[in-house]
C-alpha cells in the first residue's frame, strides 16, 4: 500500500479478461492516456500476436477500489528464471503506464509496483519510455533504491508544435527552397499520371470498408519487400485488421489514403488524442518512390492538423531525416531494463547489457533508409 493507493498484481489470461471492463473505463477517462495500452490494442494483440504469452498486470487502485493505474506485461524466459516484457511491445511506439490522473503519487506507486514484480522476476525490460516519465519519475526512484538498471536513450521523438502556426510558414521554415521545389515537381508529376486525391476515413464502417486498400498498400510497400513492414511478425496482419475498426469505434483513428485514379498508392495510420495528431505508420506502394507519395500524404496531414487547430503533430519514435527537418522539437525515448539485486539478477544484467551494446554498434553502422 502507498498512501491512498493500493497496488495489486493480476496474472493469467483469466485475470486479463476479468480486468477488461475496468480497463475500458480507465482508458476512456485517463489524463495520462497511452493508445498502446488501450483495451482495444491489447485485446487484439493478445488474440493474434501474444497468444502464447502469460499476462502479468500491474494495477493500482484507490481506496474505494477504483482502477487508477495500469501497466501490462508478459512473461519471457530469463537466465535461470523468468523476466517481463511490456504487453503489446511488438507494435507500440510508447510504453508509459496508463494513469487516471497525472498525480505524482499515483505515478510513483506504479513505479514502486515494479519493485514488487522484481521480487519474483529476474528482470523487467521497458523500451520506449517518454522523457518526462523516464527522467522525472522513473530514474530518480530507482537510483535512490540502488536498483541494478540499464538506462539509455534509444529512439528519438520528433514533434511539431502547431499552436498559432500557419502551414505555409511552417513548411517554409522547415524545408529549404530546393526541397520545396522538388515536392512541387513530384506533385505535378503525380498529377500528370492521373486523377489524384486524398481521402480520410474515421468511422468504424468506413474503416472496415477500407481495410482491403490498407492491405494492398502495405503488401506492396518497400518496407514489406525488406521484411520490415507492419505485417512482418506472425499474427500482425490479423492484429491490425481487428484493431483498426475497434479504434475507429472509439473515435481516435485516422486512416488516410493518397489515391491515383481511385487506387491507393500511399496509406497513413494515425491517432488523435487530446489535441495531438500521433503518426503511427506511413507506407507507399513500390514503383512510386520517385514521386514521394508518402511525403505528400504526410504534408497534407500536417496542413489539416494546423487548420483544425490541433496543438501537436507527433511523429512518434524514429529519427528519419524528414522527421528531423519538419520537427520543431525533439527528445530521446528511453530504453530501460531493471534487474533483481540478486546474483542471478546481476548475471542477467551482464548478459543483456552485452547484447544491447552489440546491437547498438550494429545499428550505428546501418544507414537510415526508412525515409518516406
| CATH architecture assigned to 5-156+332-364 | 3-Layer(aba) Sandwich (3.40)
The span from the CA of 11 to the CA of 74, in Å, is 9
Residue 215 vs residue 370, higher pLDDT:
215
Q: What are phi and psi of 34, to 5 degrees?
A: -125, 110
Which among 257, 278, 265 has a CA at the least distance from the CA of 186?
Answer: 265
Supply the DSSP string of 95-125, one letter for each residue.
-PPEESS--HHHHHHHHHHHHHHTTT-SEEE
CA angle 165, 167, 170 (to 5 degrees): 70
Stretch among 29-43, 79-93, 332-346 having the lowest mean pLDDT: 29-43
pLDDT in tens, 13-34: 999 999 999 999 998 888 867 8
Q: Can you read off the three cell numbers belonging to residue 123?
A: 528482470
Mean pLDDT of the chain: 90
Q: What are phi and psi of 124, to 5 degrees?
A: -130, 120
The pLDDT of residue 368:
47
Which among 153, 146, 53 has a CA at the least distance from the CA of 346?
Answer: 146
Residue spans per domain, the chain: 5-156+332-364, 163-310
Task: Provide CATH code, domain 163-310.
Answer: 3.40.630.30
Alpha carbon 43 to its chain's center: 16
3-state helix, strand, coil in the chain (%, to 5): 45, 30, 25
Torsion of CA 284, 235, 354, 76, to 10 degrees: 150
The pLDDT of residue 232:
87
pLDDT > 50? residue 277: yes
The span from the CA of 273 to the CA of 251, in Å, is 10
Stretch among 2-11, 140-149, 206-215, 277-286 having the lowest mean pLDDT: 2-11
Q: What is the pLDDT confidence band of residue 369, given thresholds at 50, 70 and 90?
A: very low
Mean pLDDT of 325-349: 92
Answer yes or no: same fold for 5-156+332-364 and 163-310.
Answer: yes
Torsion of CA 90, 94, 98, 103, to 10 degrees: 160
Tell me how crowded residue 5 is: count the other CB atoms within 10 A of its CB. Answer: 20
Q: What is the pLDDT confidence band of residue 6, given thresholds at 50, 70 and 90?
A: very high
In the chain, % of residues over pLDDT 70: 95
Residue 3 vs residue 14, higher pLDDT:
14
Stretch among 157-166, 321-330, 356-365 having the lowest mean pLDDT: 356-365
Segment (H or E) for 297 = helix 293-307
Contact by Cβ (8 Å): 255, 268: yes
Q: Can you read off the three cell numbers belonging to residue 323?
A: 522527421
Amino acid at each position: 500500500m502507498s498512501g491512498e493507493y493500493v497496488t495489486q498484481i493480476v496474472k493469467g489470461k483469466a485475470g486479463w479478461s476479468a480486468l477488461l471492463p475496468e480497463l475500458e473505463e480507465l482508458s476512456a477517462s485517463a489524463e495520462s492516456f497511452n493508445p498502446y495500452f488501450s483495451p482495444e490494442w491489447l485485446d487484439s494483440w493478445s488474440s493474434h500476436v501474444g497468444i502464447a504469452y502469460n499476462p502479468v498486470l500491474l494495477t493500482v487502485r484507490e481506496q474505494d477500489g477504483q482502477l487508477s493505474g495500469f501497466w501490462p506485461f508478459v512473461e519471457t524466459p530469463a537466465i535461470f528464471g523468468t523476466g517481463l516484457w511490456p504487453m503489446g511491445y511488438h507494435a507500440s511506439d510508447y510504453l508509459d503506464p496508463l494513469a487516471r490522473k497525472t498525480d505524482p503519487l499515483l505515478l510513483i506507486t506504479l513505479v514502486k509496483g515494479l519493485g514488487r514484480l522484481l521480487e519474483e522476476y529476474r528482470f523487467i525490460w521497458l523500451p520506449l519510455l517518454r522523457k518526462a516519465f523516464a527522467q522525472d519519475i522513473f530514474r530518480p526512484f530507482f537510483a535512490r533504491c540502488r536498483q541494478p538498471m540499464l538506462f539509455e536513450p534509444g529512439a528519438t521523438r520528433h514533434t511539431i508544435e502547431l499552436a498559432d502556426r500557419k502551414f505555409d510558414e511552417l513548411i517554409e521554415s522547415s524545408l529549404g527552397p530546393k526541397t520545396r521545389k522538388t515536392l512541387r515537381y513530384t506533385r505535378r508529376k503525380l498529377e500528370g499520371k492521373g486523377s489524384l486525391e486524398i481521402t480520410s476515413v474515421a468511422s468504424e464502417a468506413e474503416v472496415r470498408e477500407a481495410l482491403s486498400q490498407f492491405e494492398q498498400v502495405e503488401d506492396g510497400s518497400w518496407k514489406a519487400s525488406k521484411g520490415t513492414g507492419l505485417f512482418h511478425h506472425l499474427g500482425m496482419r490479423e492484429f491490425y485488421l481487428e484493431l483498426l475498426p475497434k479504434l475507429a469505434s472509439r473515435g481516435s483513428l485516422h486512416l488516410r489514403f493518397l489515391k491515383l485514379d481511385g487506387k491507393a498508392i500511399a496509406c497513413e495510420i494515425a491517432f488523435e488524442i487530446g489535441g495531438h495528431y500521433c503518426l503511427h505508420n506511413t507506407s507507399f506502394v513500390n514503383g512510386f518512390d520517385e514521386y514521394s507519395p508518402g511525403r505528400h500524404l504526410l504534408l497534407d496531414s500536417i496542413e489539416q492538423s494546423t487548420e483544425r487547430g490541433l496543438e501537436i503533430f507527433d511523429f512518434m519514435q524514429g529519427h528519419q531525416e524528414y522527421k528531423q527537418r519538419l520537427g520543431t522539437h525533439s527528445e530521446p525515448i528511453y530504453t530501460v531494463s531493471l534487474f533483481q539485486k540478486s546474483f542471478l539478477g546481476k548475471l542477467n544484467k551482464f548478459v543483456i547489457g552485452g547484447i544491447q551494446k552489440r546491437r547498438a554498434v550494429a545499428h550505428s553502422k546501418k544507414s537510415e533508409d526508412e525515409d518516406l
